[in-house]
Amino acid sequence: MFDSGVGGLTVLHECLVSLPQEDFLYLGDTAMFPYGDKDPAELRQRIGRIAGLLLDRGAKLLVIACNTATSVGQEVAREVAAARGVEVVPVVEPQAEIAAAITANARVGVLATPNTVASGAYRRALEAVGRGLDVVEVAAPDLASFIQDGALFDGDTMAMARSYCRPLQEAEVDTLILGCTHYPLVAPMLQRILGRDVRLVSGGHAVAAAVQRTLEGSGLAREARGEGSYDFLCTGDCEAFHEIGTRFLQMPLGEVEQVEI
């Protein structure tokens, strides 16, 4: 499993709860964070190398726990994984399926990074469901960095969040896809602004269910017996990853190994 930083740990948390018997290896590309405003061509090259590194470590399934990486580079990851006979679970399609299923008024919002919005990945995934949905996408260029930095919530933070939510409120969406794995950390703030009637769809539950289906369908799932391991790699500062990652994962982090991509 990999992400641009620690946001994907919200996905890992759900996988650890849903599939406690499996072993997980998580790579946070903190040296390159954030992906949301990087050159897509550069990101695709990096995603290919990350996929190769994780497969070299023995991964039987590759999970892209990053919305931007899924949006701009999932095909590269699939090519690298397919050469090893390994399947890929991205984060976009599972979220889109859930959002399309639960919206009552067929108005779905997407809050995501600029690269994710520009890619049109969520719009395509929602259109593929065939429900004739109205999709409103909002780019939030500063939100992921704010969350990863652990900045304090204050008046300016609320003003930023309200500016991102305003187009969603005007469009009267009843379902909002949190299109970045960092965003569940500020879900209470977004819920307060949008109101309780707007349902938030995060990547964690959706991806964990997709991982379980994929492993069981391919005969790679372990028996539900005991607890597996979970280990961490990062490309930046290991101490910072450990400190911030513990907050995101809501479980203890052991040693973090630094790697170069």
Catalytic residue numbers read 66, 180
What's the alpha-carbon Rg for the chain, to the nearest Å?
17
As a three-state string, the secondary structure of 217-235 is HCCCCCCCCCCCCEEEEEC
**CB 20 within 8 Å of CB 227:** yes
Q: Which residues of 244-258 are buried (b: 16+ CB within 10 A; e: fewer)?
A: bbeebbeeebeebee
- 3-state secondary structure (DSSP) of residue 104: coil
Question: Could you give the CA distance from residue 6 to residue 11 in angstroms, rounded to a whole number?
Answer: 10
- 3-state secondary structure (DSSP) of residue 149: coil
- For residue 151, the 8-state DSSP code is P
**CB 259 within 8 Å of CB 232:** no
**CB 212 within 8 Å of CB 101:** no
**Cα distances (angstroms) measured from residue 124 to each of 88, 133, 208:** 19, 11, 22
Question: Could you give the CA distance from residue 83 to residue 54 in angstroms, rounded to a whole number?
Answer: 13
Question: Could you give the CA distance from residue 203 to residue 112 in angstroms, rounded to a whole number?
Answer: 12
